[in-house]
Chain A
């Protein structure tokens, strides 16, 4: 599996879990589906960007930092969106978003092939 696909899959999976944790916040439980879809999409975008970076730059610290940055930035974009209550959950959204980016950054630097084609035999 190449680094971009690896980032995409891992970012997507973590995004799903990230969205599902909204269930623990009763105030937004009714919007759970939209949150999960949005969060998955955010995870996929972050994963692709981080995977692309890992293909170009071979450095674990830089990869983790870049992942953290991308995760925080995308999560900030979501948190800053206007809400019906007018409240913004920056910390609650950006911390998990940064965590997703950090984990994907680590994983794509450590694993996955640099070639664009998949190395898995079919």
Chain B
């Protein structure tokens, strides 16, 4: 009798773990990564001839809870059509019983890996603004992300900023226009896939989770929980950069206030404060004294001041010359 080698066994195990895509339009190219709910594969969509990312449950989910969660994530993504949120193309069940959904394949790098090569603070803040914009859009559509962190932000090769992994997102409310427009079938699907997170259940990532989220106070969670995470991301973005201006540090601190009432009321307001800072204007999180105001004003109009002084020097030279 011949024994199988370890290498052959490993290859057999890998092959048996692969999802069965027979009869579907997809063909797996390679495994990209895995998460709590399933594995993400790079696949080819044979019908449209393009590459997609397939998120597939690791096994047929008998209880249906994980399958419902995955489908729910797909439904949430379908609701969030925004340049800063990865679009979903398709969802369904594979012949082997595993639930999947297909989304845009984003070739890029995760923010936590890209940070070392990111340059000026202003560039980092512009990336941060794009994250805020995507989150603000989701909030406007009644969705909380609940797991915002650098690992879940993807930067594309052309500078696209995409917020990923909406697996533990919470639906706060149905936006009125969506409720009116969406078909009954879509609403039913959403209801079937709705998974409630019980009180006391802690979902999220330590260090990026708001205190109320870390306590498992699920019922009280609102947009300000994501604001806290955005503040933590802002703090992360400032690591390794030139000493950040006090105003930016103050913005991060305000976003990460222990009490939700002390945080920004919305991701848009947070983004606006960053925009004000980038424009050299005062930010709401940082009250300035007269000297700081003067320094900021001087820095903002540096060029104009230099040009006027240059003119005055040259004018003085001309005056002296004319008098001779």
Contact = CB atoms under 8 A, between A and B. Distances in A.
Contacts of B279: 120-121
Contacts of A92: 318, 322
Given A24-B319, A121-B281, 7 more contacts: A10-B304, A17-B312, A99-B318, A103-B307, A110-B303, A120-B279, A121-B279
Contacts of B322: 91-92
A5 interface: no
B188 to A, nearest CB: 43
A96 B279 CA distance: 32
Contact of A99 (B276, B304, B311): B311
16 contacts: A10-B307, A13-B304, A21-B315, A24-B319, A91-B322, A92-B318, A96-B315, A99-B318, A100-B311, A103-B311, A106-B307, A107-B303, A107-B304, A107-B307, A121-B272, A121-B279
A18 B307 contact: no
Contacts of B303: 107, 110-111
A96 B318 contact: yes
B314 interface: yes
Interface of A: 9-10, 13-14, 17-18, 21, 24, 91-92, 95-96, 99-100, 103, 106-107, 110-111, 120-121
A24 B316 CA distance: 10
B307 A99 contact: no
Nearest to A9: B304
A117 B307 CA distance: 24
B10 interface: no
Contact of A14 (B275, B276, B281, B308): B308
Output the residue of B281, B304, B312 with the most chain A CB within 10 A.
Answer: B304
Given A110-B303, A121-B275, A99 B314 contact: yes
